[in-house]
C-alpha cells in the first residue's frame, strides 16, 4: 500500500488512499529499503472507519528493486480506543509495477491480518483478507481493481469460518500533491448485518499532502462514505456521520 516512500507513505501509511494503494506505487521509486512511522487522527480504509474517532499509530517497512518488484509490511492500531476489540492490523504485500510508453501498470498481492482470531476471541476486530491488486494509469489518472476474499465474522457451527468474495474498484486523479478518489466496494463489507447478502458501498476522498521537512510529510483529507459503510461502522460503536476529516503526519527513513 504505498512508495518512493513519499507517495506510499502519504497514500498508504496515512491511510487516505482508499483502495489499490499497493498497485499505485510509483514506478519511479528508487531501489532500496525504507521505513515509515506516523499517526493519523483516525484510520479510514475504503470509506470505513477502522478505529472509531481515535488516532491511530502506523508504520511500515519496504523493499523495492530496480526491476519494479517490491515487498513490504505495514501495521496500524485498530478498534475503538480503550475497548475490548482494540487490536493490531498487520499487512504483508508484494508485487510489481512498471511503465511502458507513458502507461503505468501494476499487479500485486496483499494479505491483511489481525492479532486476534475471530474463531477464538469474541472481541476480535476483523478477520483476515487476501487480495489480488491491479492498476492501470496514464499521467495523473489511474484506475485500480482489487479481487479478494475474507472469512465471515461469525464462525460456523463447527468452529471454522467460510470465505466471502468481494471486489473493489477505484478511480483516481493526482496532481502536485492533491488527489481525488472515487471507490466502490461490492461485498467488501462483512455481510452479517445485512442478512448475509453482499453489500455495495461507495466513497469519495479528496486530499492534499506535502513534505514539510526532509522525510516528513503531512496530509489532510475529507472522506465521504455511502450510508452502507457508515451504517456498518456505527454498528461497531463508531461515528454515524458518513463525512470524516483525516489529518496525519509521517516520517520516512531510507535504510539502504
Q: Are 185 and 225 in contact, with CB atoms under 8 Å apart?
A: no
Strand ranges for 46-86 from DSSP E: 48-49, 56-64, 69-78
Q: Residue 203's pLDDT is what? A: 94
80 confidence band (pLDDT: 50, 70, 90): confident
pLDDT > 80? residue 120 = no
Q: Residue 31's pLDDT is what? A: 76
What is the rounded distance in angstroms from the CA atom of residue 72 to the CA atom of residue 112?
12
**Residue 252 has which C-alpha cell?**
520516512
The structural domain count of the chain equals 1
pLDDT > 90? residue 106 = yes
**Residue 177 has which C-alpha cell?**
500533491
163 phi and psi, to 5 degrees?
-85, 145
Kindly report the pTM of this predicted structure: 0.84
**Residue 10 has which C-alpha cell?**
502519504
Residue 256 burial (10 A CB sphere; 0-12, 13-18, 19+): exposed
Q: Domain containing 210: what range?
A: 4-254
What is the rounded distance in angstroms from the CA atom of residue 4 to the CA atom of residue 90?
21
Provide the CATH number for the domain around residue 114. Answer: 2.40.160.40
pLDDT > 90? residue 40 = yes
Q: What pLDDT digit, counting tens, does each position of 153-212 carry?
A: 665 545 555 678 999 999 999 999 999 999 999 999 877 666 667 789 999 999 999 999
Amino acid at each position: 500500500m504505498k512508495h518512493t516512500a513519499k507517495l506510499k507513505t502519504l497514500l498508504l501509511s496515512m491511510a487516505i488512499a482508499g483502495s489499490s494503494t499497493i498497485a499505485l506505487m510509483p514506478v519511479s521509486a528508487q531501489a532500496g529499503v525504507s521505513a515509515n512511522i506516523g499517526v493519523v487522527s483516525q484510520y479510514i480504509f475504503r470509506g470505513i472507519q477502522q478505529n472509531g474517532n481515535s488516532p491511530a499509530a502506523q508504520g511500515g517497512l519496504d523493499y523495492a528493486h530496480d526491476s519494479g518488484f517490491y515487498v513490504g509490511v505495514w501495521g496500524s492500531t485498530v478498534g475503538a480506543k480503550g475497548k475490548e476489540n482494540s487490536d493490531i492490523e498487520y499487512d504483508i504485500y508484494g508485487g510489481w509495477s512498471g511503465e511502458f510508453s507513458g502507461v503505468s501498470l501494476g499487479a500485486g498481492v496483499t494479505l491483511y491480518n489481525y492479532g486476534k482470531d475471530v474463531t477464538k476471541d469474541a472481541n476480535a476486530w476483523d478477520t483476515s483478507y487476501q487480495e489480488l491488486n491491479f492498476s492501470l494509469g496514464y499521467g495523473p489518472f489511474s484506475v485500480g481493481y482489487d479481487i479478494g476474499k475474507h472469512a465471515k465474522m461469525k464462525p460456523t457451527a463447527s468452529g471454522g469460518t467460510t470465505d466471502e468474495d468481494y471486489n473493489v474498484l477505484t478511480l483516481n486523479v493526482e496532481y502536485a500533491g492533491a488527489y481525488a478518489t472515487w471507490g466502490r466496494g461490492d461485498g467488501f463489507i462483512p455481510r452479517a448485518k445485512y442478512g448475509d447478502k453482499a453489500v455495495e458501498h461507495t466513497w469519495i476522498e479528496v486530499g492534499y499532502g506535502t513534505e514539510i521537512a526532509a522525510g516528513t510529510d503531512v496530509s489532510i483529507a475529507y472522506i465521504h462514505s455511502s450510508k452502507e459503510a457508515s451504517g456498518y461502522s456505527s454498528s461497531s460503536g463508531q461515528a454515524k456521520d458518513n463525512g470524516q476529516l483525516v489529518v496525519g503526519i509521517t516520517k520516512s527513513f531510507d535504510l539502504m
